[in-house]
Structure 1
Amino acid sequence: MGDWVAASGKNLTHIFATHGHGDHWFTAGLMAERFGATVVASEGTIKEMHRNAAIRPQFWDKLFPGQIPDAPVTAVTVPGDRLTLEGHELHIVEVGHSDTDGTSVLHVPDLGLVVAGDVIYNGVHQYLAESADGGRDAWRKAVTVVEDLRPRHIVTGHKNKELDDDAARAIAETRAYLDAADELLARHDDPLGFFHAMLERFPERLNPGALWGGAVALYKEKAPAPGRSVGRR
């Protein structure tokens, strides 16, 4: 990525983190150091970045053993959540919970563009592991915030590269996935049944591993506490 930026001839000044999941910012410091850039994020995102740094040994390093460099949290907020790029304003918009807490997006009004991170997915299975206890409803509200910005184009955090960046389509498909998750969670009693039902509903989406991780986490939340029985009425 660094070589791609250098080859573009552009002057990299800022790196924006949409949310705290480590796969979206762990190497931002290396890029910032190479180009003299500043990592920026919302206050809520920075809080989540610190949380992900703390759980790194138990989670991220197990997913990517030996692949993640030292990654201290260096992100800072910007006054008024506004950046200026070549005379154009870029707005950091906090949207709350998406596939994790403390999410924000970057709105570029003059381009009709939203850099949406994981609020909107594009042809990839959505990460549902943190969507219990009202999380999917909160995610829908975040989607609505993005939709109300009236973007024409969406840059998503996870995308099938064969698809375009049409905002209306990506927003509608993200909502449909959340609705299907609610429907199929109610129908199935175990994570495997839910997993296969979602694969059948969305056969073209990439990264089923994210779906499986979410299924396991959601059914763990649904399971009764040890020593307790579940009655039927």
Structure 2
Amino acid sequence: MESKSPNPLLTDKGGSKMPQKIKRGSASAQLHGSLRDRIIQLELEPGQNLSRGEIAAEYGVSQTPVRDALLKLEEEGLIDTFPQSKTEVSKINIEHALETQFLRLSLELEITRRLAKAHDPALIASAQSILAQQKAAMTANDLAAFARLDRDFHLSLFEAGGVSDLYGVVHARSGHIDRLRKLNLPDPGKLASILDCHTRLLDAIRAGDTAETEKVVREHLSGTLAKINDIRERHQDFF
């Protein structure tokens, strides 16, 4: 049986009621998106128990969309279900994160190489605009906005390369590595390092320098993984 004890799903960290009612549209899709975001943001921490009944009550839905949303989260490796026992947020899986990183690196190396060879500044105009917004978010120390803009930046490169659907493939697998990034983002110098790589990457694409583009992509996408041991040491309960 699932636990009926108080669950942080129903309150924010200050103890206040969280209005999370689902709006019109696909309830299961919206619920999946909301729960997934809360898992990635570590609001729902690895190992935390999830009660279907409490989720349904919080979001104002029946248990059918809850079941569907949890099934999708399980497929993505973000929750673990123990039949007749419990459902909980999965621990961060390093091997899964490494596999996703391999996929993303392979795709972004080819995408940025093509963009550099195209030598068309208009293709990266959106990325340039997002980079300016990221700089403002760093100045304001708005980590949530910075992280969202970081995703937008990379999505804009997939779009510029004409393969935006492939970003969805990467995104669906990114839960474990995104949680690692969430833990790494507040570290001193991390935001500045990301901005530096984004700036150099766009400069290399504009210059048509494929060698520099590859160098920057490899450096940029290896940053968090290089800190795995340190992150795991500081957050042992999450692994």
Q: TM-score, normalised by structure 2?
A: 0.30
More strand by share: 1
> Normalization by structure 1: what TM-score?
0.31
Higher relative contact order (CA 8 A, sep 6+): 2
